[in-house]
Amino acid sequence: GGAGLYLAARHRLREHWAAELPAGSLQLTLYQYKTCPFCSKVRAFLDYHGLPYEIVEVNPIMRKEIKFTSYRKVPILLANAGRPLQLNDSSVIISAIKTYLISKRNSLEEIVSFYPPMKTVTEQGKEVFEYGNKYWLMLDEKETKRVYPVKEVRVEEMKWRKWADDWLVHLISPNVYRTPREALASFDYIVREGKFGTMEGFFAKYMGAVAMFFISKRLKKRHHLQDNVREDLYEAVNEWVKAVGKHRLFMGGNQPNLADLAVYGVLRVMEGLEAFDDMMVHTKIQPWYQRMEEVIQKAEV
């Protein structure tokens, strides 16, 4: 009767969803600082893919919220696709979840195991863990052909994702803490958006602004930036616009790829600050940036 038909229809619908959306059963929790560029990248990715997630804003002073793990940074993504899993590092998170969305062959657990932490030594002689293959999607031949019809687009996407992590992010601090006034405005925004106690927020704002003003000068040296750090920002952003070119809406073509999402995610953390307004006025980024805002807004759940 009617009920049977209804149940059958519901069953069909479920099946359909399950086939279309392997992520239907994905429970995600993002541990983040709202104003951190790496976290913003992950949100841009999840939002664009319409994946719902919960956010745990971490207090950057005590970091109580992430005491459950020995990994000391954010973002951290807890993902439950059957079994709870912890994913560290923004690019690993993005590559692993993207692989999972494309490929139904492997469990998320298996996919994550393809991104092993590896010990490396930095230029400064510090031992750090870096995740292997973090810009690489773990696809078989058929999937690769479907997602990357030509090899060049895959290489290009990896190149610019790496560029966003290794170059673009380093331009943020020197630019948003450039002058004492900008440093104060930046910390006002960090405290407003982040998770701080009342007193904590008050002290963080002033002490943070002073500290970051000086630290940003050191970062400027370390990354060999020009005296006027805005110039590096403008050049980088224009280089990106040029790489996208005039003949496509996004680097991914008609839709953003992971490089578009990474660059957008990084730049977005400057919104509301002087550096962002300057960038909009002095570079050619605006049309692309607006397109990114629009597609992400449309996709958001």
Ligand X SMILES: N[C@@H](CCC(=O)N[C@@H](CS)C(=O)NCC(=O)O)C(=O)O
87 belongs to the binding site for ligand X (CB under 6 A): no
Burial class, 281, CB count within 10 angstroms (exposed 0-12 / middle 13-18 / buried 19+): exposed
CA 300, 195, 117, 38 dihedral sign is positive
Give catalytic status of residue 234 as yes or no.
no
Identify whether the C-beta of residue 270 lies closer than 8 Å to the C-beta of residue 36. Answer: no
CB of 140: closest distance to ligand X in angstroms?
A: 26
Using DSSP's 3-state secondary structure scheme, residue 88 falls into strand
74 belongs to the binding site for ligand X (CB under 6 A): yes
- Beta carbon nearer to ligand X, 241 or 273: 273
Task: Identify any residues that bridge with 57 across adjacent strands, giving them in sequence order.
Answer: 32
- Residue 258 and residue 161: Cα distance in Å, rounded? 7
- Residue 177 and residue 133: Cα distance in Å, rounded? 33
Q: How many alpha carbons fall within 13 Å on the CB side of residue 130?
A: 13
Q: What is the CA radius of gyration of the chain?
A: 21
Give catalytic status of residue 33 as yes or no.
yes
Of positions 23, 26, 36, 190, contacts ligand X by CB under 6 A? 36
Of positions 31, 38, 189, 276, contacts ligand X by CB under 6 A? 38
- Beta carbon nearer to ligand X, 69 or 290: 69
- Beta carbon nearer to ligand X, 91 or 216: 91
Choice among 6, 31, 33, 276 that is catalytic: 33
Of positions 45, 46, 47, 75, contacts ligand X by CB under 6 A? 75
Amino acid at 83: R
Give catalytic status of residue 36 as yes or no.
yes
Q: Which stretch binds ligand X (CB under 6 A): 87-95, 121-129, 227-235, 254-262?
A: 87-95
91 belongs to the binding site for ligand X (CB under 6 A): yes
Give catalytic status of residue 131 as yes or no.
no
Interaction site with ligand X (CB under 6 A): 33, 36, 38, 72-75, 89-91
Active site residues: 33, 36, 38-39
